[in-house]
Structure 1
Amino acid sequence: MDEMDIFRRLALAIAIGALVGVERHWRERDEDEGARTAGIRTFTLIGMLGGVAGLLERLLAPAGASPGLVLVGFLVMLTAVIALFQYREGVAENRFSATAVVAAMLTFALGALALVGDMTLASAGGVVLAVILASREFLHQAIKRLRWAELRSALILLALAFVLRPIVPAEPIGPFGGVSPARILAMAIVLAAISFCGYIAVRLFGATRGELLAGTIGGLISSTATTITNARRSRERPAAGALAAGAVSAGGVSLVRTALLVSALLPALADRLLLPLAAGAAVMFAAALLLTRRGGAGEPPAQRPEPGNPFDLLAVFKMALLLVAVAFAARVASEIWGTGGLYAAAALSGLADVDAVTVTVAGMLPTLDARVAAQALGLAVIANMLAKVAYAGLFGTGRFALTLAGASLLALMAAGGAALLR
């Protein structure tokens, strides 16, 4: 480490302390001088202290000193001093908090990390620390508004994603490539995440705008899963128009996503597919906005139902199994009929998702005829849109299914017209 590198690292340690100090000082800016434990100057010095301690640790390491002894010693003394002053301030003001002590410890540690470790990690940690400190009011209000059903569902979702998923076998089981247990769980996590996002969006933005936003977000993950989720929820609450708007918006996002995949993976088919996909997406988005406006006008705020449980875990796994089974059936058809079964495989795959067909066709080019490839993708898109209407009728109310069917029919007509004009 040369002198210039030392100066850069020490400057970063000081900057981290100053950043945290600005937030701490601003929060107690109305206090008289000497009435606060630590402000901008103190935290800037704490960051610098961490940097100097890290530098001493580096310099003493070749001399055979015990590793970490300097850093631990400085940290213990700093913590004791800050805790003492914070205690005296708490007694004087009759309020007690360990935030300032922990913030000082972290500022020191990040300053030391800037000298002895990764500068990028140290700078990112400083920013995160300042953001957390500045978000006190927001976090406190969020905790006050948090309900047990929301907390429980969030914990279940996190457990599925970060505890159960890593230990579930990913190897497929069964013939024709089998079915991966990890894929079933991943689809269940997607479905649960979509439901949870929809629940939070409704809580924050109301039943009408929230469903539109949730549907748009869900379409980025899986429009089919979003449609099934909204269809099931339409039986539990009367706002079928708002839920249908979310499903229609998800369908529009799915068409846009397919167009982007075609542009990236199948540029040879762009002139055949982009215009029809764009026309269909435009109609879906227009229909979703129209449904949102009509839903907002016809559903007074006072009558909007309060959302209940974010997701039903048993229903989520049932829907995940359905989607995985459909994808497996498509793979079986492709294996039995070979290349000649491409259309059948594309249609069957479209019952669950279009992305798999897009990636499969991309892998078959340039040996596959462009016209055949375009027709296979078009068939998958049509099958997917019709399948979502069928799922809507199977899992949702009649009004929900008819609304989605009308929007899908208009989108298909627009896409077909665009294909003829191409």
Structure 2
Amino acid sequence: MDEHALLSRLAVSLAIGLLVGLERGWRTRDEDDHQRAAGLRTFALSGLLGGVTGAIGQQLGGIAIGLVFLGYSAAFGAFHWLQARAEQNVSATSVVAGMLTFMLGALAVIGDLNAAIAGAVAMTVLLALREQLHSWVASLSWQEIRSVLTLLAMSFLLLPVLPNRPIDPWGSINPYSIWLLAILIAAVSFGGYVAVRVFGDRLGVIMAAIAGGLASSTATTLTLAGLARQHSDSGRLFSAGILIAGVVMVLRVAVVAMALNPVLIPFLALPLACAGGALAAGAGLMLINAGGSSERPELKISNPLELGSALKMAAFIAVVMLAARLLQQHFGDAGVLATAALSGIADVDAVVISMSRMALGVIDPPLAARAILLATGVNTLVKAGLAASTGGMALGLRVGGVSGLAVAAGLLAALR
């Protein structure tokens, strides 16, 4: 490594220490000097020490890095033990943060620079979100946490032994892939579920629509439609909320499909953008003249990481993939589109995942994109029907009218 490269990497090691030290120093800013074991300067020096140790280790071997790390950890831990004994504080966070700062500083010199920077950013974010993370954990019940842990344990234990190949005569069902995709989509939904559980009745209609749309746009539609029936003077507000949940659903479809198969981007980007834009425009117009409401939607959404929910999603994905394959063999492209339309009545995620994966070699990408768009359109119109049946005709006309325009906009864009 030449001198310029070494100095650049040492600068990154120092920057890593400064980044972490800024957060640690700010958190202990009210303590007097010499009354805290480590602050901005100590963490900055820890990162630089790690970088220098890494540079020396390139000359003397990895054993030198290990010895210096052990000495650093012992000294750093001793000072924090003295502080903890004086303050009756048993937290080990700063000790672990110091050790990790040292190692990331060393990694920046002898390893992947981007990985070291990413690790430093992730650590700093976790340290800065201390109160929020504790609040989120406290808001979840033990049953919810247990279901997540059970599913994660089963996934890590089950995935390695699941066959990573098609097991059916038609080459459609890969157990490893299906289970992994079901867990991934459940994890996306879990983000919205956690937001709903954490903020609870503090969520206003709009924020509830956004969080609920990420978890389950259908459940959000039913909840807001029920409130609209009870509070007819705020019908426009709840209509806007339902449409916003639809926008989130469209964005979710786009992100999942394009992440699983980037080949679909040219076929999906414009139609989904037009449909989502129409839903967003309709929601915006309704919000302009919407009456206020003090209601706080109480969304009833099941934990998407419960084992039963994940198994149902995996089974649904398998059924859609198998049905699409068999119907394509008998009826051609029309069979795939029919499967997507029927499946979209109940759930759009399974269609998005199935078609995105099948477009990798089983069916043509344009056909997969049409199937995804068809399922999204059907699902959007079905939710408009649910809004009308639950919230009344006025709500149904507002939501249904905008939803119809959104589907038409997406169709026109797809046929361009």
Instruction: Give the TM-score of the pair, scaled to structure 1.
Output: 0.69
Q: Distance in 1 between matches of 2:253 and 2:76?
A: 57
Secondary structure at 1:351 match in 2: helix
Q: Distance in 1 between matches of 2:253 and 2:401?
A: 14
Q: Does 1:78 align with 2:78?
A: no
What is the identity, as a one-letter code, of the residue corresponding to 1:300? E
What is the identity, as a one-letter code, of the residue corresponding to 2:29? R
Q: CA deviation at 1:410?
A: 5.6
Residue 334 and residue 8 in structure 1: after superposition, are their counterparts in 2 closer, same or farther (change >3 A)? same
Q: CA deviation at 1:282?
A: 4.6
**Equivalences for residues 10-409 of structure 1 within 5 A:** 10-61=10-61, 67-68=62-63, 70-159=64-153, 162-186=156-180, 188-189=182-183, 192-193=186-187, 195-203=189-197, 204=199, 206=203, 208-214=205-211, 216-217=213-214, 226=216, 230=219, 245=243, 248-249=246-247, 252-253=250-251, 264-266=265-267, 280-285=275-280, 300-301=295-296, 304-305=297-298, 307=300, 309-311=302-304, 313-318=307-312, 320-337=314-331, 341-352=332-343, 353=351, 356=355, 359=359, 381-382=373-374, 385-386=377-378, 398-399=389-390, 407=399
Contact map agreement 1:110 1:126 (CA 8 A) in 2: yes
Secondary structure at 1:343 match in 2: helix
Q: CA deviation at 1:334?
A: 1.9
Contact map agreement 1:170 1:181 (CA 8 A) in 2: yes
Please give the per-residue CA displacement for 1:131-180, whole angstroms capped at 9, x wherever unaligned.
33333232333333332233224324534655434542232233333433
Residues paired across the two proteins, number: 387
Residue 306 and residue 139 in structure 1: after superposition, are their counterparts in 2 closer, same or farther (change >3 A)? same
Q: Distance in 1 between matches of 2:253 and 2:68?
A: 59
The residue that corresponds to 1:2 in the other structure is: 2
Percent same amino acid among aligned pairs?
34
Contact map agreement 1:209 1:292 (CA 8 A) in 2: no
Q: CA deviation at 1:195?
A: 4.5
Q: CA deviation at 1:296?
A: 9.3
Q: CA deviation at 1:392?
A: 9.5
Q: Distance in 1 between matches of 2:255 and 2:80?
A: 54
Q: CA deviation at 1:31?
A: 2.7
Q: CA deviation at 1:74?
A: 2.0
What is the identity, as a one-letter code, of the residue corresponding to 2:32? D
Q: Distance in 1 between matches of 2:387 and 2:33?
A: 65
Q: Distance in 1 between matches of 2:94 and 2:188?
A: 38
Please give the per-residue CA displacement for 1:47-86, whole angstroms capped at 9, x wherever unaligned.
332233223322234xxxxx41x22222222222222222
Q: Distance in 1 between matches of 2:397 and 2:255?
A: 21
Q: Distance in 2 between matches of 1:284 and 1:239?
A: 20
Q: CA deviation at 1:44?
A: 2.6
Structure 1: tracts of 5 or more residues without a match: 62-66, 219-225, 366-372
What is the identity, as a one-letter code, of the residue corresponding to 2:186? A
What is the identity, as a one-letter code, of the residue corresponding to 1:11? A
Contact map agreement 2:55 2:109 (CA 8 A) in 1: yes
Q: Distance in 1 between matches of 2:287 and 2:159?
A: 36
Contact map agreement 2:144 2:303 (CA 8 A) in 1: yes
Residue 43 and residue 283 in structure 1: after superposition, are their counterparts in 2 closer, same or farther (change >3 A)? closer
What is the identity, as a one-letter code, of the residue corresponding to 2:16? I
Residue 391 and residue 286 in structure 1: after superposition, are their counterparts in 2 closer, same or farther (change >3 A)? closer
Structure 2: tracts of 5 or more residues without a match: 229-237, 344-350
Instruction: Give the TM-score of the pair, scaled to structure 2.
Output: 0.70
Residue 45 and residue 361 in structure 1: after superposition, are their counterparts in 2 closer, same or farther (change >3 A)? closer
